[in-house]
Amino acid sequence: EIVLTQSPGTLSLSPGERATLSCRASQSVSSSYLAWYQQKPGQAPRLLIYGASSRATGIPDRFSGSGSGTDFTLTISRLEPEDFAVYYCQQYGSSPPPFTFGPGTKVDIK
């Protein structure tokens, strides 16, 4: 099973600042099958990034993903008030499953 770790656990920033979130895998993620999700309180997770760097439908271009192998990054170029949330990475390429999630990074208002 691929174990994902995320850092930092909490990121305290102000609107307009740049956020850089890290996701590291215990072994190489097949074909960069790495996704990022955003979750706000009381809501279901929302797919932001898939294939490590492709934005999902309707996701603003201030969100970008990069990385390969075992190291991945989600960058929010300029934080908007609605971006303060928890972010999870997930690998979805292991065969057979399980498709594991990281523990999450909370981005909160400084």
Partner 1 sequence: QVQLQQWGAGLLKPSETLSLTCAVYGGSFSGYYWSWIRRPPGKGLEWIGEINHSGSTNYNPSLKSRVTISVDTSKNQFSLKLSSVTAADTAVYYCARGRRTIFGVVITQPLDYWGQGTLVTVSS
Instruction: Report the interface residues with partner 1, using CB under 8 A.
Output: 1, 31, 33, 35, 37, 39, 43-47, 50, 56, 88, 90, 92-93, 96-104
Contact 56/47 with Cβ under 8 angstroms?
Answer: yes
Name the minimum Å distance from CB 73 to partner 1: 17
Residue nearer to partner 1 on the CB measure, 16 or 58: 58
Asked whether the beta carbons of 107 and 8 are under 8 A apart, the reply is no
Minimum separation from the CB atom of position 31 to partner 1 (A): 7
Q: Determine how many CB atoms are found less than 10 A away from the CB of residue 95.
A: 6
Q: Is the peptide bond before 96 cis (omega within 30 degrees of 0)?
A: yes
Q: Cβ of residue 14: shortest distance to partner 1, in angstroms?
A: 25
Rounded least distance, CB 16 to partner 1, Å: 28
3-state secondary structure of 14: coil
| Closer residue to partner 1, CB minimum distance, 17 or 22 | 22
* Nearest to partner 1 of 13, 33 (CB atom): 33
Three-state SS at 62: coil
